[in-house]
Amino acid sequence: MRPARDKVSLVTSRSYDEYSPAELASQLDYNPFSFLHVLNPAYVNQQKFSEEVRFRAVYNKYHEFKAEEVLKQEAAPVFYLYEIQSKSSTYTGIIAGTAIEDYQNNVIKKHEDTLAYRVEYFKDYLHQTGFNTEPVLITYPHNPELQQWIAHRKHRRPLYLFSSLNRDKHTLWRIKDEAEIQWLQQQFEGMESLYIADGHHRSASAERLYEQDKATGNSNLNYFMSFLIAEDDLKIYEYNRIIYGLNGHTGKQLLQALSADFEVINKHLELWKPEQKFEFGMYLNGEFYALRLKNRSFTSVLQALDAQILYDKVLRPILGITDLRNDERIAYIPGSKPITTIKELIDEGDYTVGFMLYPAAINEIKELADNNLIMPPKSTYIEPKFRSGLVVYEL
């Protein structure tokens, strides 16, 4: 399913939780075609309803969009080639169904852990609503032949060409020729592994739904929708950490404790962030610091990961943070946001200290996945981000 061509720019939206309350109200009050109406039709009173009632409302609104032909169905299975062009980056990938069997057999590899309650929640959502519009972001190794095909294919007339309100330009091509479809499938069959970049909970939920409902014979459950993009084209940001309180330490005591494992360099008012691996930035009491790790010998790729180093050397032993997911003293700021965001939150007193990391490399992510190792929570913030309602996969 996809939007009618004349409504595509009105239908597609950013992820629901990326909107401020004012933006959300504006979209829902003045744009009757926004897919946000489907994602949360009872947005004002959403807390008053049970999950089952909310999911049923989503199902009903989705089918209302179909009945009004806001959304239309493809006549036959297709692939899509999709390009997102922002001011600073261009991302191009293939929207396709990837096999649950490949996920279960570790052909599609993971590097993040999942929370059982979130997997179960999204599985129930998929089961009740019967559709998914959030593809898993999957990366594949550099492939010159595929890259050349993509460059050539982009010269043809697109199905959609539109701009979103954040000034990004979106282009979608439909791949319906049987010979092209088979050629693409052969290209991916020749790849030893694919890697999940973003969407570990979505893929785990799709697998759980498959196990629950496969007896129905619904072949759509054998796949989950993915956005496949070459690893060279991903943009990997760090997740920076901000902490409330110093676990009983003074600022001076924290600096002294850090000096055991790091060379601590006062950068004063310079807006400094790490320039290479094994460097960390810190903002404390109105000043920036560079922290350079002294001992850089490790026995595994996980131990050498900057996010793990910060946890092992600072967060757990000095600041007493053992649960990175649930401790209310820690929050995460994606590296796509300016460093001044961290400074402002600390200067305003909401948090006490901030730590800036250097982004993980794709090779680190792949090596972790190849060795069945799991990154600490919030280790990477990866772009591109997909627009809801652009392509819908029915289950």
The whole-number pLDDT of residue 27 equals 86
Do residues 379 and 116 make contact, with C-beta atoms less than 8 angstroms apart?
A: no
Got the DSSP string for 264-316? EEEEETS-----STTEEEEEETTEEEEEEES----SSTTTTSHHHHHIIIIIT
Give the distance, in angstroms, between the CA of residue 68 and the centroid of all CA atoms in the same chain. Answer: 31
> What would the two tokens of residue 113 be?
């852990």
Mean pLDDT for the chain overall: 95
The whole-number pLDDT of residue 132 equals 96
Domains of the chain (ranges, CATH numbers): 1-73 (no CATH), 75-233 (3.90.1530.10), 238-378 (3.30.1760)
Phi, psi angle pair for 267, to nearest 5°: -100, 5
Print pLDDT tens along the chain (395 aa): 999 999 999 999 988 888 888 888 888 889 999 999 999 886 655 566 788 888 999 999 999 999 999 999 999 999 999 999 999 899 999 999 999 999 999 999 999 989 899 999 999 999 999 999 999 999 999 999 999 999 999 999 999 999 998 899 999 999 999 999 999 999 999 999 999 999 999 999 999 999 999 999 999 999 999 999 999 999 999 999 999 999 999 999 999 999 999 999 999 999 999 999 999 999 999 999 999 999 999 999 999 999 999 999 999 999 999 999 889 999 999 999 999 999 999 999 999 999 999 999 999 999 999 999 999 999 999 999 999 999 999 99
What distance in Å separates the CA atoms of residue 26 and residue 213, rounded to the nearest whole number? Answer: 38
Q: Which residues make Cβ contacts (< 8 Å) with residue 35, sequence separation at least 6?
A: 11, 12, 13, 65, 133, 388, 389
What distance in Å separates the CA atoms of residue 111 and residue 113, rounded to the nearest whole number? Answer: 7
The whole-number pLDDT of residue 40 equals 83
Number of H helices, E strands in the chain: 13, 19
Task: Identify the burial level of 5 via C-beta atoms within 10 angstroms of its C-beta, where 0-12 means exposed, 13-18 middle and 19 or more buried.
Answer: exposed
Burial 194-226 (b: 16+ CB within 10 A, else e): bbbbbbbbbbbbbbbbbeeeeeeeeeebebbbb
Query: Reduced to 3 states, what is the DSSP secondary structure of residue 143?
Result: coil
The whole-number pLDDT of residue 256 equals 98
**Element of type H or E holding 99:** strand 90-99
> What would the two tokens of residue 378 be?
């919030």
Nearest CA-CA partner of 16 in 395, 392, 389, 391? 389
> What would the two tokens of residue 59 be?
């199902």
The whole-number pLDDT of residue 25 equals 86
